[in-house]
Structures are given as C-alpha cells and as structure tokens.
C-alpha cells in the first residue's frame, strides 16, 4: 500500500500517463472531435453547449473506480487535494463529495485533462490554446437534499484575469432533473458579473442581485445528460443543481480551463497549497499545464 510519502504527485506530469484516452497530435486525428460551426454559434448565443460525448463506457467505469477509491478519506494521496468536503459515509451511494485536485492523485482523472474529446472543443470555444485551471468532483448521494445554489463560476475566479475561462461538466451517471442535473439560465452569460450570493444556501438566492430584466429571463433549463456526455459553459453562465430525489447517485467530474495568457491577479496562493503567482504574471508552471495548442487543430 502506498503511503503519503510514496504516492506520486501527478501534477509533475504534463502529458498522459496511461492509455485510457486516445492521443490526437495531428490535425487529422483531432478532426473527429471538432465542434461544428453551428455548435459554436449555439454556445456563443446561449452560453452553453450540452450533450457532447466525451467518455465511452470503459472510460466512465475507470473514472468511477478511481472516484470510489477517492471517497476514502484515508487514501494515501488525500493530502494532494486542494480542497475536500465529504460526509464520509461508508456506503458509496451515500457519499456527498466535492473535491478539487483529483488530477494530482489518479491517472484517469489526470489523463482526462488531455482527452482530445475535451481539449479540441475547449480550444475552439476559447479561441486559443487551452491551459488547465483546476478540476472538481461533485457527487450527490441517493436521496440527498443538498443543492448547489445558482451562481456564476467567474465570481469565484476573479483572482485570474482576463476572463477567458470555460467549464466542462462531465456526467459519470445519467443526470436527470430528478437526480439533480445541472440547471442553466440560457443567455445569462450576457449578464454582468454578479456579486457572490453563495452556493450552499438558498437555491435561488442569486435572484436578489438580478435586475427586473434579468429576473424575467430567469428560466432554468435542465441539462439532462447520459453518462459520458458533457456540457460546456461560459464563466458567467448562471447555473446550479437541485437535490437528488432518486435512489441513484449523481456523480460528475468537472474540468475548468482558461485560454493561454490568462494571468494571476492575486499575490495569494490561487489554490490551496499552491505557491502564489505574482499579479500580472501569466498562469503556468507545475499546477497549470498547457493542455492543447490549437496549432495542431
């Protein structure tokens, strides 16, 4: 059994370490992952694009198995998480879990970042080279009453500028309205940056900071996905998720990225345990690798 001192920190590896995902190093190999012009126009208009197949069944199974290991708070790589919140239930279908940093611990979650089914669309939507920001795991156990209140991701990320960010939410289970799939407010990426109203409190607390015009457009759209599919969203997209009312868990992996060139805007650590990057300095180094250079697209 690995110990804290022997477990490898995979953040030092800036290329895939397994064969879980195909490589796509040439324009020809990337072509099959490219979004169409219509899909890109849909994203620009609505602030999201959903239903993109990003994992096959074997990849979903591999990531679920890794997730299962990570539910164990005694896992030897646990100290590598930037953040970890869990109810630590012994029953995996009852684990409520939100954690950042799985890419440092598990080969599958590490290699997911270089999955061309993610990087090629991400480069197209960002309009440039893709640099990694951080990952997240969001798991809602069966019959879990907790919600993720409506919010804009960038309101939590202003320590990195300019805003050229992207979120990719990946279902490790079928996600439905009943088990707490994502909910988007289509078009809200054209709202301004809103003040933080919290993600753990009232589901619709964000309404308090919306104008009457914005409130009129506050019509949640349920982003139902099959396992292995993803939804991309803009950093100002208002989104959240209701409780899981079913007897099926709702597990998800999230990859957050930005266009290469985004810089630090803070003299504090940008993630817990990560050395600060001076304000104005371009993001990069061990914890923020380049994932895709569109020169090959």
Q: Which stretches of the chain bind ligand AKG, using CB under 6 A?
A: 136, 138, 148, 153, 167, 169, 182, 239, 241, 252, 254
In angstroms, what is the minimal distance from the CB of 181 to ligand AKG? 8
How many whole angstroms from its chain centre is CA 103? 12
Q: For residues 3 and 138, what is the distance between their CA atoms, to the nearest angstrom?
A: 26
Q: Output the smallest distance, CB 23 to ligand AKG, in A.
A: 27
CA–CA dist 96, 140 (Å, integer):
5
Q: What is the 3-state composition of the chain as percent helix, strand, coil, each rounded to the nearest 5?
A: 25, 25, 50
Give the whole-angstrom CA distance, residue 98 versus residue 94: 13
DSSP 90: S
Residue 227 CB, shortest distance to ligand AKG, in Å, is 14
Residue 146 CB, nearest distance to ligand AKG (Å)? 9
The answer to whether residues 132 and 113 touch, using CB atoms and an 8 Å cutoff, is yes
Q: Which of 257, 255, 277, 259 is nearest to 267 (CA)?
A: 277
Nearer to ligand AKG, 82 or 169 (CB): 169
Q: Which is nearer to ligand AKG, 119 or 167 (CB)?
A: 167
For ligand AKG, the closer of residues 33 and 169 by Cβ is 169
Give 126 or 148: the residue with its C-beta nearer to ligand AKG.
Answer: 148
C-beta of 118 vs 294, nearer to ligand AKG: 118
CB of 182 to ligand AKG, least distance (A): 6
Identity of the residue, 109 or 169, whose beta carbon is nearer to ligand AKG in the bound complex:
169
Buried b (16+ CB within 10 A) or exposed e, 104-137: bbbbbbbbbbbbbbbbbbbbbbbebbbbbbbbbb
The Cβ of residue 272 has, within 10 Å, a number of other Cβ atoms equal to 11
Residue 254 or 262 having the CB closest to ligand AKG: 254
Min CB(37)–ligand AKG separation in Å: 26
Residue located via tokens 């795991």: 137
CB of 185 to ligand AKG, least distance (A): 13
Using alpha carbons, list the distances in angstroms from residue 174 to 117, 178, 179, 184, 291: 19, 11, 9, 17, 27
């Amino acid at each position: 059994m690995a110990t804290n001192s022997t477990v490898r920190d995979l953040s030092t590896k800036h290329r895939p370490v397994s064969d879980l995902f195909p490589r796509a190093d040439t324009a020809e190999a990337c072509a099959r992952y490219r979004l169409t012009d219509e899909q890109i126009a849909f994203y620009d208009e609505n602030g999201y694009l959903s239903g993109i197949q990003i994992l096959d069944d074997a990849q979903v199974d591999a990531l679920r198995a890794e997730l299962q290991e990570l539910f164990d708070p005694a896992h030897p790589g646990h100290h590598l998480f930037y953040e970890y919140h869990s109810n630590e239930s012994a029953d995996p279908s009852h684990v409520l879990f939100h954690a950042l940093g799985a890419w440092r611990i598990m080969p599958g979650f590490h290699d997911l970042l270089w999955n061309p089914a993610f990087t090629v669309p991400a480069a197209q939507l960002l309009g440039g080279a893709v640099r990694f920001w951080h990952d997240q795991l969001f798991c809602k156990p069966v019959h879990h009453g907790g919600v993720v209140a409506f919010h804009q991701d960038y309101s939590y990320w202003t320590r990195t500028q300019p805003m050229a960010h992207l979120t990719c939410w990946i279902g490790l289970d079928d996600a439905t309205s009943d088990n707490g799939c994502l909910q988007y407010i289509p078009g809200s990426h054209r709202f301004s940056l809103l003040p933080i109203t919290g993600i753990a409190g009232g589901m619709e607390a964000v309404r308090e900071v919306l104008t009457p015009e914005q409130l009129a457009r506050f019509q949640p759209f349920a982003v139902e996905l099959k396992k292995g599919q993803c939804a991309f969203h803009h950093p100002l997209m208002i989104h959240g998720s209701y409780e899981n009312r079913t007897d099926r868990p709702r597990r998800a992996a999230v990859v957050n990225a930005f266009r290469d060139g985004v810089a630090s805007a803070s003299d504090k650590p940008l993630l817990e345990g990560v050395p600060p990057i001076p304000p104005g300095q371009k993001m990069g180094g061990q914890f923020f690798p380049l994932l895709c250079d569109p020169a090959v697209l």
